[in-house]
Amino acid sequence: MKKEYIVYLMMNNRNSVIYTGITNNLDKRVIEHQQKINPQSFTAKYNVNKLVYYEMFNYVHDAINREKQIKGWRREKKLQLIRIINPKLEDLSIE
């Protein structure tokens, strides 16, 4: 069975916070953020609950490298990346 690794970006409803993460189960991870499973987490504190971007990888090392790359970017560059596939910053988890 082939595993997939996903780098994802989430925002709060006001689009003022961008969170970058990595997972091997995007649906489950987004629900965990939305339900604030860990109330002390960054995403819970800043109400990050909207999936706005994701990329899939076959190898965990590639996903980790991409996550680190994106985390090193300034906000504007992250927004440019998101807007390539999601110009209106809509919640992709609804799809």
Task: Convert the pLDDT of each residue in 75-89 to its tens digit.
Answer: 999 999 999 999 999
| Distance (Å, whole) CA 92 – CA 71 | 20
Contact 2, 20 (CB under 8 A): no
Q: What integer pLDDT is reported at residue 1 of this predicted model? A: 67
Question: 18-23 and 48-57 as β-strands: parallel, antiparallel, unpaired?
Answer: unpaired
Dihedral angle of Cα 29, 50, 85, 75, to the nearest 10 degrees: -100
For the chain, the farthest-separated pair of C-alpha atoms sits apart, in whole angstroms, at: 39
Domain count, the chain: 1
Look up the domain containing 37 and give its range. 5-94
CATH of the domain at 49: 3.40.1440.10
The pTM score is 0.94
Q: What is the DSSP letter of 76?
A: H
